Amino acid sequence: MALTGTDWLDAFPALARLEADAMALLAAEGMRVHMPRGTVLFQAGALCQSYLMMLDGSVRVQMVSESGREIVLYRVARGETCILTTACLMTRTGYSAEGVGETDIDAVGLGAAGFHALLARSAVFRDFVFASFGNRLTGMLALVEEVAFGRVDLRLARFLVEHRDAAGGLDTTHQALAVELGTAREVVSRQLKEFERRGLVELTRGRVLVRDVRGLEGLAA
């Protein structure tokens, strides 16, 4: 779908200041894209074809090791762009991870040629791209610090508190939690059993119920 109108700028207010010629180029080169949940947007080793600016939905960016271990690097949501996509476009190299739509996706897509043309022509667009890149890089460094130096029990406690649903729990598996935390399923299972022994959670098949929010918050802190 061609990029028409300016309603999408609500998600990217910084781009409302685009120079007139840059806005015309973005309208000509950009397009509105819709993808269903489960779409694989990119895979490790693939070259980047498009710069996506998310309007609605969530993309999970994850890395899979040769042994099959997975870790979620970050998610791309409304008003955000993908740091790996930016890096691949600027260096003209392949992806080192994969991106999967966790929900239906609504986005603005800009082909590689249009991206490079705007980057060269527009100071506003360059500022937007590098600001988005810098903000996401800060989050990536925080993840590296957590995985490398953080205790799994503290990170797991924080995750359970921050992601519990209205009923006070999470519909998830031990493997899914391990992927989120960048550790092994056995480690997560052992830690959850310890949390259950201490009365912090209750474990049932496919669900973790938080029994003691304050206890987990205290542990996470």
pLDDT for 219 equals 84
pLDDT at 83: 93
Buried b (16+ CB within 10 A) or exposed e, 71-88: bbbbbbeeebbbbbbbbb
Domain membership flag for residue 164: yes
Please indicate, yes or no, whether residues 11 and 112 belong to a single structural domain of this protein. yes
Residue that finishes a domain, picked among 121, 148, 175: 148
Whether residue 89 sits in one domain with residue 30: yes
State the residue range of the domain holding 115.
Answer: 7-148
Residue 33 belongs to a domain: yes
pLDDT (0 to 100) of residue 216: 93
Residues 67 and 141 in one domain: yes
Tell me, yes or no, whether 24 and 103 share the same domain.
Answer: yes
The per-residue pLDDT for 150 is 67
pTM of this prediction?
0.70
Residue 48's closest CA among 85, 2, 74, 97?
85
**Does residue 181 sit in the same domain as residue 87?**
no
DSSP state string for 45-95: TPBP-EEEEEEES-EEEEEE-TTS-EEEEEEE-TT-B-HHHHHHHHHT-B-
Chain-centre distance for alpha carbon 162: 16
Q: Which residues of the chain have pLDDT under 70?
A: 1-2, 146-150
Residues 159 and 139 in one domain: no
First to last CA, the chain: 47
Number of domains in the chain: 2
Determine the pLDDT at residue 208: 96
- Both 135 and 169 in one domain: the answer is no
In the prediction, which pLDDT does 2 show?
63
